[in-house]
Each structure stands twice: as C-alpha cells, then as structure tokens.
Structure 1
C-alpha cells in the first residue's frame, strides 16, 4: 500500500508540473502578443491596444523620480516592524487550543484540516511564482521540493529514532518535517513582502501584501498547532512553534527589500520548491495519518456498539 502511494504521489507531481508548464508557456505567448509594445519610427511606441505614444526623456525621468520617491518613503525599520507583526499573527492559530482540549477523536479531522490548509498554501505559492513570469522555474522548483523532502525523510530514518517535544519515533519525524516545511515556505513569503515594499507603489503596496499574508498566516498557524496538538503538545508550545515557522518572513524581507531585483529573480524557483515540499508531505504523511485515525475510530465505535 505504501509502495503504491509513493508511485501515485510521483505521478501527481509530474502531472501538476506538466500542466503548470503548459499554462505558463501559454500565458507567456499571450502576454507577448498583447502586452509587448512595438517600437515605431522615431521615439514612438505602439502598445498592445494599438495606441501610439510618444516617449521622451522627460517622461522617463519623471517615471524614475516617481519610483525613487515611493521607494524612499519606506525605511528598513518599517519593513522589519510590519513583517515581525505579520509573523506573530501565526501564533493566533494556536489560541483555540488554550480554551478547548483536543479530544482524540478529533485528531483525524485536525490532520485533514491541516492537509487542506497546506495544499491551499502550496497552490497559492505556485500561482505567486507564475505571476513573476517564470513558470518553467516554478515547475523545476516543485519537482526539486518533492525530491528534497523524500531525501530528508530517508536521512532521518537512517539517523535513528528522532524525538521532539516528548514525541518519539515516526510521529516525531513527521512533526519535524511539517515544521521544517512550513518554516521553509516562509522564506518565499518574506521575500515577496520585501520586494513589494520596494515596488513602484512603495508603502501602500507593501502594506496590502503584509496584511494579506498576516491573515494567511493565521490558518497556517492553526495547521501547525493541529498537527502538534493531535500528538499531545501543549498549547504554549504549539503557539511557540507556530510563530517560529514564520520567523524567516521578517529575516528575509529586509534583505529582499534592499536587493529587490536580485531576490525577485529567485522567487519563482523558491515558491515552487516550497509548494513541492508541502504537496509531498500532505499526500505522503499528513493525509494518510488523518485516514488512519478516522478509520481506527470507526472500527472502535462499531465494536463498542456491537
């Protein structure tokens, strides 16, 4: 059964990669046909709508000054402050576990919900990578991420018994992988926030992206907390580790803000890599655990009623 599951997962990753490659190539062709401006005789440009526009050096200077003005309004300390608050929002996902004790029968449901959140985040990362116009690198990143997690799992199995937060054995290995993957994918999000603050709209665009990811961090923190709480981890530790998974966001946001062009080039591969890691982890580990617990509970209930 486990052998078939791995083959099914590999087929799924290859299918996703093939579809993403086709979609990305199609979007690139369309954008080249519609959006690419054509240089005309003299200093005029014909855009994708057929409108002819005269480009002068004064216009270029004005656009450059506007870009510099918006960029200079945002300081490094502002980026750090907002991204720290954004990362702290992840801890809100653990708040429900301070008031409600997780019943064992909910462990399967929690794992299923965590899998859903991780899958949603992975496809969101794929879309983000495509928006930067490099679909091929997103596909390469997805495949690299799946292979990376497979190798990490084999390495942990060879290392011996793993323990974390009073969890031992195979369950500890899964917790380490989940926390590691959620931490890894935060690097891409932090880079995206830093680049947005350095964009043409400056603070306004950066603030909107920061708020969006802060809201997005709450269910991700809930996913991490559910994985930990279903294995007996206290709410305090669940909140702490949820926040830790988002700490790369402010750490990466500052250098990506300072060196926006350089980080922007690596975003497609990084987002694809993180997405590939999460897709593999969900299909190979988190979802099977959810089904295992749910089926065991159904069998127990049937035996109890009989």
Structure 2
C-alpha cells in the first residue's frame, strides 16, 4: 500500500499544477513563473542532498575514508545519463525557440513534452529507489523518509504541471488539451518509479550508487534548466528567494518527518 501511495503522490502534484490552466487568462505572469521555477529548483536540490546523497554516504560508511566512492561514482553517472538524453532526445524548453537534441520533425508541443519527460525520469527513479530500499528492509532508508521524498517531489511537480500546461494554452491550444498534456507530462514518473522497484533485487547491493545516480540526474536538471530559466530577464530576485524557500521546506520535511 505504501509503495502505491508513494508512486502516485508525485503524479498528483503534476496533475494539480496542470489544473491551474483552467484559471488562467492569457499568458502566465512572468513573476509567477520565476517563483515557480525557483521553488522547484530549491526542492530538487534539497531532495538530492537530504534524501539521496546523505543516505548513500551513510550506507557506505563501512568503507571508512572511501565512503565517498559509491556516492561520487553514482552521482557522475547520473549526470552523464541525463546529459546523453539531453544531447540525443529532440526537445525544446518553454520560452525558447531553439530545439535541442537530434534534429526531428516533431511539433513544438511534442518537443516541450519531451523536455519535461527528460527531467521527470530521475525524479521517478529517486522515489522508486528510496521506496524500494525502505520496503525491503534497509535500515538507513525508512518508509516515512520515502514518503517525504514523494511529497517533496509532488511539491516540486505542482509548479511543473503549471509550467507545461499554461504555455501550451498561451500558444493557442485549448485549456482541456493543455491540462491533459500537463498531466501526461508527469506520467513518466510513476512508470520510472515502478520499474525501479521491480528491479530491487538488482538494486539492493548497489543502493548507494543508485541513490547518488538519481541525485546527480536531478542536479543536472536544476543546473542545466531550472536555474538558467529562472534567472533570465527580470525578477530574478524572486526566483532566488523562491529557491531558498523550496530548499528550506524540503529540508524541514526530510529532517522532521523521516
């Protein structure tokens, strides 16, 4: 039951964020977008540190001075994994007219969806690996900690759902279709989480590496996408404050509830 709840919670966050398109008139307010991007970045960084890196280091504590090795290796591989997806998958970021990845004839809306999908994969894996570690008896990772991570990802997904659905509507798509695509953009997370849990028999021996892998992938997304987008043009101070707020909220949730 806990596994199902943990998998569904982040998806609900994206869906609730996409609902905001029904209350929108015209284009998303730039200040609101800056706050949402900054907040999402803060949550992801805190989740990477407190829910993924710290447990990875603790699980490797019996290696003494070399306890950093699994976390370091996993983190770097996570960075490389998303870098490869970013390099080869055709996509376009919201607010940009320049496509990235391999050349394709995909529509702009499809490329925007793929951009969100790229960084939803590590979020789903993060929730899946922590849930798997908790449910299958790892002493370092608790089920409450796994649910806190799921809630943190859901908080981060709320603005993400809005950020994908609102621009689609602003570009002429109907509110209903924009909402549906916003919801579907988060569909890869429960899939990634479920697949990760199904592979638990292979994951358990290398859990520190996988935890750090998810952290590296998430940090790549923050540095490559969320921070640059939040610091473009004006109102950058709002995104910085929102980043700090998101970081603190996720840190408090992780420390107080796990």
1:181 aligns with 2:119: yes
Q: CA deviation at 1:116?
A: 2.9
Give the aligned partner of residue 269 of structure 1: 213
CA distance in 1, matches of 2:142, 2:2: 12
Give the aligned partner of residue 142 of structure 2: 205
Unaligned stretches of 5+ residues in structure 1: 1-77, 296-306
State TM-score, norm by structure 2.
0.63
Q: CA deviation at 1:199?
A: 2.4
Change in Cα spacing, 1:188 to 1:84, as seen in structure 2 (3 Å) is closer
Q: CA deviation at 1:180?
A: 1.4
CA contact (8 A) 2:88 2:102 kept: no
CA contact (8 A) 1:146 1:276 kept: yes
CA contact (8 A) 1:149 1:277 kept: no
CA distance in 2, matches of 1:177, 1:140: 21
Bigger mean CA offset, 227-236 vs 93-102: 93-102
Give the aligned partner of residue 53 of structure 2: 129
Q: CA deviation at 1:141?
A: 4.2
Q: CA deviation at 1:281?
A: 1.5
Larger relative contact order (CA 8 Å, sep ≥ 6): 2
Give the aligned partner of residue 221 of structure 1: 157
- 1:190-248 CA distance string (max 9 Å, x none): 1111011122569x932x13431332233232132122123124223312322433431
Change in Cα spacing, 1:95 to 1:160, as seen in structure 2 (3 Å) is closer
Give the aligned partner of residue 129 of structure 2: 191
Give the aligned partner of residue 185 of structure 2: 241
CA contact (8 A) 1:98 1:235 kept: yes
State the structure with more CA Rg. 1
State TM-score, norm by structure 1.
0.54
CA distance in 2, matches of 1:254, 1:87: 18
CA distance in 2, matches of 1:81, 1:139: 27
Unaligned stretches of 5+ residues in structure 2: 58-67, 92-99, 170-177, 237-258
Task: Pick one of 96, 104, 107 that aligns with 1:163.
Answer: 107
CA distance in 2, matches of 1:147, 1:112: 26
CA contact (8 A) 1:196 1:205 kept: yes
Change in Cα spacing, 1:229 to 1:89, as seen in structure 2 (3 Å) is closer
Give the aligned partner of residue 230 of structure 2: 287
Q: CA deviation at 1:92?
A: 4.5
Q: CA deviation at 1:131?
A: 2.9
CA distance in 1, matches of 2:137, 2:80: 29
Change in Cα spacing, 1:91 to 1:175, as seen in structure 2 (3 Å) is closer
Change in Cα spacing, 1:274 to 1:185, as seen in structure 2 (3 Å) is same
Q: CA deviation at 1:95?
A: 5.9
Bigger mean CA offset, 148-157 vs 88-97: 148-157
Q: Equivalent residue of 2:167, what SS?
A: coil
CA distance in 2, matches of 1:218, 1:154: 26
CA distance in 2, matches of 1:251, 1:149: 18
Q: Equivalent residue of 2:137, what SS?
A: coil
